[in-house]
Amino acid sequence: MARKKLFSVENLTLIAIGAGIAFGYFFPALSTELKAVGDIYLKLLKMLIIPLVFASIFIAIASLSGKEELKSIGVKAFLYYLSTTALAVLLGIVIFHLINPGSGEHLLQIPQNVTIEKKELSLSDFLLSFIPANIFEALSKGAILPIIFFTILFAVAALFIQQTKRTVLYNFFDSINDAMMVLARWVIALTPIGVFFLIAATVAKNGLEPIFELYSYVLTVLLALMFHALVTLPSIGYFVGRFNPYRYFLQIKEAPLIAFSTASSSATLPVSLEVAEEKGGVSKKVAGFVLPLGATINMDGTALYESIAVLFIANISGVELSLAQQITIFITVTFASIGAAGIPGAGLIMMTMVLDSVGLPVEAIALIITVDRFLDMFRTAVNNWGDLLGAKLIQKVL
């Protein structure tokens, strides 16, 4: 038994992360060569996403006892997403001012010769992007937000059809869900191998040096992420949900570890569903609703990271931001994190919007891009932990 625990997927994954860093650092060429092994694992995870999103949301909604319960879960989930994201941005701003990284360092010239595509997001575009004109196109493209939108409507519509027909649909999607979960377990068993090669290739590509060059910025982001993950979120679990958040974390830790290794909330979704239901004691009904939605729109780590990154860029370019500008940052970062896709580097792309909102040149991103992948791993783990904590919390307060 003890031996089995020692060689659990979680422990082997932890070892794989450490070994992957060392391997990538000392054997960069070989690590790049073997990147395909990590990519196979990533593709296998991604392969599970769409059927799982569709089936899990459908059965979550179809198993609700009525419209009231749907409203209750929906309202609570949105309240949780929004309040924790706002807390994360606020924490980022406060910790930034406490540490003040980048001040006193010589001012950096914003590079003129790089072109970074600016992301513009108007409210109408944002709302329109939810609605799929063609659900099969959305499914084939893996556009998660429109798929979620359609599935919620479809599942709610199913609540209005004849009971016997609804049961047919329910059993169909429930069977798909169960089979996908079995598949997920098979893929999860490959995690240590996949993670080893993914991390090695990442270290080989980015190196570790930029981390030391931008150490004050990196440390500020890491400290704030740690605080959010270890203090803010657990406090909400403890005081509002009345459960032990740290014990729960130990039960579901495989998902944040995979989020860390893949830097993708979406790719981690199959694992999140599996661990929440099988190990964390969250019902299919709550997990199926809260986790797919959370993986797409609830990104505390990204929100926190973006607020610090924008303030840091202002600092090293010698720009003094007014209080009004900081409030603008607070608001735009919240929306940027909601709009960011659950894929590597999405947070950085959305940040162009935030920089633009306070008149900082988007090219300034070039100043921090070298450490983005490294920080992406940590912020994605926090994004994932936020979703999983939310699922347990909503389960408890329902």
- In the complex, the residues that contact ligand ASP under the rule CB under 6 A are 263-265, 299, 302, 340, 342-347, 376, 379-380, 383
Q: How far apart are CA 130 and CA 293, in angstroms?
A: 12
The amino acid at 386: G
Q: How far apart are CA 273 and CA 53, in angstroms?
A: 10
Q: Compute CA 297 distance to the chain's CA centroid, rounded to the nearest angstrom.
A: 8
For 317-341, b where at least 16 C-beta lie within 10 A, e where not — what string? Answer: bebebeeebbebbbebbbbbbbbbb
Token pair in block for residue 207: 């190196």
The radius of gyration of the chain from alpha carbons, rounded to an integer in Å, stands at 21
Give min distance, CB of 353 to ligand ASP, in A.
13
How many Cβ atoms from other residues are within 10 Å of residue 146's Cβ? 20
Nearer to ligand ASP, 44 or 59 (CB): 44
Q: How far apart are CA 229 and CA 305, in angstroms?
A: 13
Nearer to ligand ASP, 59 or 85 (CB): 85
Give min distance, CB of 369 to ligand ASP, in A.
12
Residue 27 · residue 125 · CB < 8 Å: no
Residue 398 · residue 73 · CB < 8 Å: yes
Which H/E stretch holds residue 245?
Answer: helix 245-252
Token pair in block for residue 9: 């997927």
Nearer to ligand ASP, 95 or 343 (CB): 343
Phi-psi region of 151 (alpha: psi -120 to 50; beta: other; left: phi over 0): alpha
Nearer to ligand ASP, 314 or 348 (CB): 348
Q: Compute CA 318 distance to the chain's CA centroid, rounded to the nearest angstrom.
A: 31
Q: Compute CA 72 distance to the chain's CA centroid, rounded to the nearest angstrom.
A: 24
Nearer to ligand ASP, 61 or 77 (CB): 77
Give min distance, CB of 372 to ligand ASP, in A.
8
Token pair in block for residue 286: 């709550």
Q: Which residue is nearest to ligand ASP (CB)?
A: 347
Nearer to ligand ASP, 285 or 302 (CB): 302
Give min distance, CB of 397 to ligand ASP, in A.
25
Give min distance, CB of 81 to ligand ASP, in A.
13
Give min distance, CB of 350 to ligand ASP, in A.
8
Give min distance, CB of 291 to ligand ASP, in A.
13
3-state DSSP helix/strand/coil % of the chain, to nearest 5: 80, 0, 20
Give min distance, CB of 303 to ligand ASP, in A.
9
Nearer to ligand ASP, 150 or 305 (CB): 305
Nearer to ligand ASP, 210 or 345 (CB): 345
Give min distance, CB of 343 to ligand ASP, in A.
6
Which H/E stretch holds residue 78?
Answer: helix 67-99
Nearer to ligand ASP, 245 or 342 (CB): 342
Dihedral, CA of residue 300, residue 306, residue 308 and residue 313, to nearest 10 = 180
